[in-house]
Amino acid sequence: MTENIPAKVVYGNKVRANNNDVSIFSKAWEEFLKKQVKGDIYAVYSNYESDYTGDFDFMIGTEQTSGEHSITIGNDEYYIWEVESNDLAGVGKAWSEIWKSDLRRAYTTDFEIYKTDGSITIYLSINANP
């Protein structure tokens, strides 16, 4: 399922990451969770070197101003991937499935939303035209 997402700004701290060293993500989450923020949380992937096998920027934040960096999630069409949030490994399993899928990903800006109701959704930038 795809959806057009209106532009929004997310504020947080950014690190350069890649999928070969998952400790980068753990450290970023550990630092972010110390802030005890309220509201929905965004994990944003952007500035891709190539695709999911290369380096990219990773930022965790909220729509409230906090943190050193900000990123605008563009007004664009995204493929929506629902995560099994009752499974502690749900996000990792979802990404494994995404990497194996035949989605025509644009690798512009992808993001996860961790809602206050406990649901988790991944939004993937896609190439709308074949």
What is the tens place of the pLDDT at every residue in 19-42?
999 899 999 999 998 888 889 999
Predicted TM-score (pTM) of the model is 0.92
Look at residue 82 and give its three-state secondary structure: strand
Task: Look at the alpha carbons of 16, 31, 39, 96 in this order and tell me if their dihedral is positive or negative.
Answer: positive
Structural domains in the chain plus CATH codes = 2-125 (3.20.80.10)
Q: For residue 41, what pLDDT is reported?
A: 95
Q: For residue 129, what pLDDT is reported?
A: 67
Cα 106 off chain centre by: 14
Within the chain, strands assigned E span: 2-5, 8-17, 41-46, 56-62, 69-73, 76-83, 109-114, 120-125
- The stretches in the chain having pLDDT less than 50 are none
